[in-house]
Amino acid sequence: MCGITARVGTGDSLDALLSSLRNLEYRGYDSAGIAIQNGDGIEVSKQEGEVDALQARIPADGLHGEVGIGHTRWSTHGPPTDENAHPHQDCSGDVAVVHNGIIENYQELRDELAAAGHTFRSDTDTEVVPHLVEAELRGGADPEAAVRAAVDRLEGSFAIAAVVAGVDRIFAARNDSPLVLGIDDGEAPRAPDEASGDQPRGSAYYLASDVPAFRDHTDRVVYMDDGEFAVLDADGWTVTDLVGNHVEKAVDTVDWDPEETGKSGYDHYMLKEIHEQPRSLRQCLSERVDELDGTVDIGDLADLTPRGIHFVACGTSYHAALYGAQLFQQAGIPAQAFLASEYASSPPPIGDALVVGVTQSGETADTLSALREAKHRGARTLGVTNVVGSTVARECDHVFYIRAGPEIGVAATKTFASQLAALNLLALGMTDSEDAREVIGASGTSPGKSKKCWTSPARAPSPRPTSPPARTSSSVAASSSRSHWKVRSR
């Protein structure tokens, strides 16, 4: 899945953008690019291949400017080529745009723009966006109004970030594709050193498709919702709806350390996250299980008394949902697991059933669609997710966190284990299970048993610092394919 990043603030943005792109490599990609607004115009560097190749292509004197956007692309419209890599520009080169998602009416817009004299250089759907902005600018619109008007023409799913020459702002919009702001307002002082002393650092504001992109710089985040438009500059940020009405947004603090998204000496993320399962299980069970009393505390969720439960999920989470349905069935509550894509398009009679969406990221499009359809039909909804502040967490009536910590690897390991543990807790807390005490006792020992499984000499080589092997363009494409499977299936 493609990755978006952007930065505006004190100092050049190039290094921060490159670092952010590397932090998004786990999503899979086949090309990468950066655009920086330098006060006089927009400098763009992009190409097929890895971020390291992109950095090597940048001139020795660099790209300079405080406002920039970046992107890692996984090919959809058009093959992986330099021309199809993001960012994309208009005819004049005064507008640059990065985009995740699919613009469903792009061909209609492209034909209209081509007839008006616009020249296209790529095969992508994204390229219509900078040309739409250019057309609005030619008509006399100011930059923000031009971007808003362009977004208003789009149909489909999109997360967009745009910069305009001579304008020290970043414009962004979200519809069915994640975007999150990172707030580093310079309030916390730097560590003292001989060069700077104990001086406040300059402020910077970030935009990305996922928090790991900028977590090295800040832990304060603002999650954008569908139909919202953001403007970032060196002085701060604002969020409105698509017609310009102010939207009050909460600033959240992510509770994990940036080191958690590293490999910690393991050869790859999957191996690391397999070994993190005992800790993830402990976090899931912590303060929720009292082994001595034989009780489970799931807060207000214990007051829910559903007559039936519909689980909706995709891929690995669907397998967890099948297990959850079995747990409730054994406790005497009718329960069934549905593939979210089928449920969204053709839901069964819901009645007074509780609809439970199981999704690691909290952003799985099909699961969100299924939950929204259920809410539209008057059902109560519960999200079982890993990510605090995710769309599922914000939109559902209730939420239960699996507390697995960030998962970067393609295959679900610790998050699947934590989903099973969390669903056990829900079943125990919401029903009168006859074997509750036995299950609770077993739950308390599961982290230790998991650790034994993965720390026997035959199974667990000691983590060691390694340098990743050089990857060819074909290996990057293979990684992209695997990452796409991950996004679609969780």
**Sheet of 42-48, strands arranged across:** 42-48, 31-37, 67-73, 3-9, 204-208, 180-184, 220-223, 252-253
Residues 391, 155, 130, 228: is their CA dihedral positive or negative? negative
Q: Report the distance separating Cα 109 and Cα 131, nearest Å.
A: 10
User: Bridge-partner residues for 46, per DSSP?
Assistant: 33
| Residue at token pair 């109004």 | 145
Query: Do residues 433 and 295 touch, judged by C-beta distance below 8 A?
Result: no
Domain layout of the chain by residue ranges:
3-261, 269-465
How many helices and strands (H and E) does the chain possess? 14, 21
pLDDT at res. 234: 93
Residues 458, 459, 460, 466: is their CA dihedral positive or negative? positive
**Pairing outcome for strands 67-73 and 354-359:** unpaired
Q: Report the distance separating Cα 333 and Cα 325, nearest Å.
A: 9
Query: Do residues 386 and 401 touch, judged by C-beta distance below 8 A?
Result: yes
pLDDT at res. 265: 83
* Fold assignment, 3-261: Glutamine Phosphoribosylpyrophosphate, subunit 1, domain 1 (3.60.20)
* pLDDT, average across residues 21-33: 84
- Packed helices 128-138 and 143-152: angle between N→C axes, nearest 10 degrees: 130
- The CATH homologous superfamily for domain 269-465 is Glucose-6-phosphate isomerase like protein; domain 1 (3.40.50.10490)
Tell me which DSSP letter residue 210 carries: S
Question: What is the identity of the amino acid at 162?
Answer: A
Tell me which DSSP letter residue 485 carries: H
Of 60-74, 132-146, 394-408, 410-424, the poorest mean pLDDT is in 60-74
Reported confidence tier of residue 481, pLDDT bands at 50, 70, 90 = very low
- Is this structure's pTM higher than 0.85? no
Q: Identify which of 82, 86, 92 has the alpha carbon closest to the alpha carbon of residue 5.
A: 86
pLDDT tens-digit series, residues 244-271: 999 999 999 988 777 777 778 888 888 9
pLDDT tens-digit series, residues 161-190: 999 999 999 999 999 899 999 999 865 443
**Pairing outcome for strands 252-253 and 88-89:** unpaired
Q: Identify which of 351, 264, 265 has the alpha carbon closest to the alpha carbon of residue 306.
A: 351
| Residue at token pair 């299936």 | 489
